[in-house]
Structure formats: C-alpha cells, structure tokens
Amino acid sequence: MVEIKDKKEKKETPRPVIAVGDGAAIPSKEDVGLFTAWRFSFIGAIAIVAYLVIFSPDPYWRILKFLPDGILVTFQVTTASIVLDLIIGLFTGLGRISKNRILSGIASLYVEIIRGIPLLVQLFYIYFALGRIINVPAMASAIIAMAVCYGAYMGEIFRAGIESVSSGQMEAARSLGMTSSQAMRHVILPQAIKTILPPIGNEFVALLKDSSLVSILAVSDLLRRGREFAAESFNYFETYTMVALVYLIITLFLSKLISIMEDRVGANR
C-alpha cells in the first residue's frame, strides 16, 4: 500500500467509521451493555441446544443431525454472494464517484432501483419471471439475486470508504506522475479498504440471515431443511426452535469475529 503524506494536511484527522447495512449488532468492550448481552446470548443459546439434545434427544438430536447439509448450503450461498457483491460493489462505488456523468448516472440508477425493490421480489423475479426466458437453476438464481441486491448496498460502502480518504492523497499521487487509475489502485483503494472492512463484515452477517429467503426457491439451505423435517415429523415447534437457535449461534459467532477484525483494523490505522 502506498500512503502519500500530503503537505497541505497540517494535522492528521481520524479515519471515519462507516456504519452501513442491516447486519448484526457488533459487540464491543466499550459498549458494556451490548458486550454483556452478546455473552449471555451466545453462551445461553449453546447451553439451550446442549440441554435440549441431552435431555430430549427425540426429536432435538434428530433435528440437529438433519441440519448440517442445510448449514453448508447456507454458507455456500452466502460466500458466493458476498464475492459477487464485492465485485459489483467496487464497480458501483467507482461509478458513483466518477466524473463521467453517464457512468455516475448508471451506477446511481442501479443503486436506487435495486434498493427500492425487496430482496424477496428480486428472488421471485429472477427465478420465476426470467425463468420463462432463460432457465436459471435455483441455486444460481439465489446467488445472483442476493449479489445484485446487496451489490447496491456494497456500492455505497465502497463510495463512502473512497470518499473518506483525503482528496489531498489523489492530488499528491497525481503530482508524482500517477494517472487517476493508478492513484486509485495504489493509493486510494488500499487506504479505503481499512475503513470498509468492518461494514463489509457486517453485510456478510446480514446476507447470511437473509439467505433464509432462498428456501422459497427449493434451495436446501438451513431453513429449507428445517421445513422438510417439520413436514415429515409434524414437530414444528421443536424444529423451528432448533433452526432459530442455530441461526442465532452462527450470527453471534460471526459478529464476534467482526468485532475482533474491527479492533485489529483500528489498531493498524
């Protein structure tokens, strides 16, 4: 990473923190209440699962053994979607700050349209509506819909991260003979990454939770597997209790990883 010291900046201003998205609340030791609530929730969820499995193995142990395939599919959908999100978000963010009115207009139009349509509607549209024109498998439809939807939000994260870098950095890079694209690639983006890493992690958690919607497309994710077990056994209360607890444990675990990442990124600034 190249970070150019701008002589025009008399004092170094703290890098702003971006709070974008609908992800999980990130536990922090500075927020004693939230940190305590996270510990009680995480330990409590694991304790409840253990209690149910040990003292009531039928049906809870059978349910838990039925869910791993769905958990794997949930992570596959989420991971593939987040990778596409990053690509779409990067180009959207660059388009939003572009001086080219056409590129900026296209990127802004994409953000406004996609953010104005619920994810569930986009899932139906890509799988069922576009399915009449081109046959897209359920798994691919789910990944595309989630990537397109969250790409709009990711674009705003990239835009905010790039704009958080002092404009003097670009001017100083250009004064050294770099082109705008070189300055963006070698100077601006590496510095912006430090700012946008935490909100990207937050979006990952939000995307994982919203991945439960793909079950309507017959994708065998965690929720779909739960629905299948409940339909076979008629243990609806027990099944959805276990599914909710598994989602809670995964989400809380990931939110803690993001908190650790935020601390490390903040220490390196």
In a domain, 2, yes or no: no
In a domain, 255, yes or no: yes
Task: Take residue 122 and report the two structure tokens written for it.
Answer: 């986009």
In a domain, 261, yes or no: yes
In a domain, 20, yes or no: no
Burial of 15 from C-beta contacts in 10 A (0-12 / 13-18 / 19+): middle
Q: What pLDDT was estimated at residue 6?
A: 47
Q: What pLDDT was estimated at residue 22?
A: 56
In a domain, 86, yes or no: yes
Q: What pLDDT was estimated at residue 268?
A: 63
Total domains in the fold of the chain: 1
Q: What pLDDT was estimated at residue 10?
A: 42
Look over the chain and give the mean of its residue pLDDT values, rounded to a whole number.
86
3-state secondary structure 116-135: CCCHHHHHHHHHHHHHHCCC
Q: What pLDDT was estimated at residue 21?
A: 47
Q: What pLDDT was estimated at residue 86?
A: 94
192 or 48: which carries more pLDDT confidence? 48
pTM (2 d.p.): 0.83
Q: What pLDDT was estimated at residue 31?
A: 65
The pLDDT of residue 136 is above 50: yes
162 or 33: which carries more pLDDT confidence? 162
Q: Nearest 5°: CA angle at 190, between 19 and 205?
A: 35
Q: What pLDDT was estimated at residue 7?
A: 43
In a domain, 14, yes or no: no
In a domain, 207, yes or no: yes
To the nearest whole percent, how much of the chain has pLDDT over 90? Answer: 58
Which domain covers residue 64, as residue numbers? 32-267
Tens of pLDDT along 97-128? 988 999 999 999 999 999 999 999 999 999 99
- As a whole number of angstroms, the distance between CA 133 and CA 154 comes to 29
pLDDT band of residue 96 (cuts 50, 70, 90) is very high
Task: Take residue 24 and report the two structure tokens written for it.
Answer: 């999980």
Tens of pLDDT along 194-224? 888 888 888 889 999 999 999 998 899 999 9
Tens of pLDDT along 178-190? 888 888 888 888 8
Tens of pLDDT along 9-54? 444 444 544 444 455 566 666 666 776 888 899 999 999 999 999 9
To the nearest whole percent, how much of the chain has pLDDT over 70? Answer: 86
Q: What pLDDT was estimated at residue 234?
A: 94
In a domain, 27, yes or no: no
Task: State the DSSP string of 12-27.
Answer: PPPPPPP--SS-PPPP
CB atoms within 10 A of CB 61: 14
Q: What is the CATH number of the domain that holds 228?
A: 1.10.3720.10
Tens of pLDDT along 235-249? 999 999 999 999 999
Q: What pLDDT was estimated at residue 30?
A: 65
Q: What pLDDT was estimated at residue 65?
A: 95
Q: Where are the alpha helices (DSSP H) in the chain?
A: 32-55, 57-66, 68-97, 101-115, 119-124, 138-164, 167-175, 180-183, 189-210, 222-233, 236-267
Q: What is the mean pLDDT of residues 130-138?
A: 86
Q: What pLDDT was estimated at residue 143?
A: 95
DSSP secondary-structure letter at 2? -
Task: Take residue 72 and report the two structure tokens written for it.
Answer: 């794997």
The residues near 40 (Cβ < 8 Å, ≥ 6 apart) are none
